[in-house]
Amino acid sequence: MQKRNNYIDWLKGFAIFTVVFGHCWMRDEALYWFIYRFHMVLFMTISGYLFNAKRGFKDFFFKKVNDFLLCFGF
């Protein structure tokens, strides 16, 4: 059994918080747009990593960045 990675757990908690916070009405429009730009991407990236955690996070991250760049023709 693998040991749990506390950093991933904290990041997951932060991602869940930003998803809930991002979907709530906020008075500060600048903060709303800041959170809205990354909250779902962060949550889905962590979920994807945990779904297929055979590789390390660094390998997973760079593969996703490479896939993203190839998708847009870079």
pLDDT value of residue 1: 55
* pLDDT surpassing 70 at residue 74: no
Task: Count the neighbouring beta carbons within 10 Å of the beta carbon of residue 15.
Answer: 20
**pLDDT value at residue 28:** 73
Q: Quick: pLDDT tens for 28-59.
A: 778 777 777 777 778 777 877 777 666 677 77
Whole-model pTM over 0.75: no
Could you tell me what percentage of the chain is helix, strand and coil, using 3-state DSSP and rounding each to the nearest 5?
75, 0, 25
pLDDT tens, position by position, 2-13: 677 788 888 888
Contact of 32 with 22, CB cutoff 8 Å = yes
